[in-house]
Structure 1
Amino acid sequence: MSETSKQAVLDNRGAEVQPVVREQLDVLDQLMKPEVQESLTVLVENLPKLAEMVTLLTKTYDIVQNVVTDKVLIEDIKGGVEEFVKPIGEKAKGLAAAAIEANDRTQVEASTVGLFGILKMLKDPQVQKTLRFAQAFLEVVGEKNQQR
């Protein structure tokens, strides 16, 4: 904590007028500096703009404060986010379960896939869909690389 020391102020005859807190003198000394006076002039000239900005910030603060404290709105937003995220999470869980099951099957079955096995797999609609996707993806990546 700062200590407030008192200093005597002398009038033009050298007589002590009254004790003044040192911080008050420091402020007066600061106000006498030309750069501080210029800054104050700029502030005074821009007071209408500053007042407008403060008003806008105050309104924004009030709105945010109302939104943050509104339990019903928070629950509605939470419910909306859950409705959006829940299907994505379920789909991700389904894909993860399928990947785990596929991994388990490959661990159990150690047979090799030959040329005729690959030709048989090419008739599978899921394999065709995956190959079309892979082909389209590679075309898009190739186009993007050519544009650079």
Structure 2
Amino acid sequence: MATSLSKQDWVDELDKLEVQASLQKLIEKLPTLTEKLEQVDNILSFGQAAMEDQHTMEKVKMKLDYTNVDIDTLEAGLRLLEKLPLLLQLTEKLETVVHFMEQVLGDQKSIEYLQKSAEGYLEPIQEKVEQGKTLWEEVQMKAEANTQHISVFTILKWMKDPSVQRGLSYVQALIDTLPKKQ
């Protein structure tokens, strides 16, 4: 619906304060807008000239042929762009964690507290390791000191021992289970 404004309608419109304020802002920004428009025009002219230049287009085509830029790559790039807000959030959280770690590592009291806490968790493990080491050394000493000849009858005698039977049942269970896992 095209309506033409009369001369009086234009004068009435220009008398409005908000229209005058908008026109004033537009006039103030005209040099900047003109400069931006010229920059866009230069970019478009350069793009058009590059597209029309056969030599340039052949180089671009050749370079694209040697890259793996295809529709899948472009789709992946777009999907990555969609995920940028989440990646930014994660990066900011990681940055916060790194900053926190820098603060903790720079504070001697915090380091001492962490060491004491870690020692509390590691002591039981260290005790178990020491017990295992002691047990191994004892077994090793007994094995080296044992000069008794081991015969088939000795092994048959050991087979009656409940602890040997329990150990052999674990070996049998392992033998039965391993082929199923492969």
Q: Which has the larger radius of gyration?
A: 2
Query: Whose relative contact order is higher, 1 or 2, with alpha carbons under 8 Å and at least 6 apart?
Result: 1
> TM-score of the superposition, structure 2-length normalised?
0.40
> TM-score of the superposition, structure 1-length normalised?
0.47
Identify, as 1 or 2, the structure richer in helix.
2
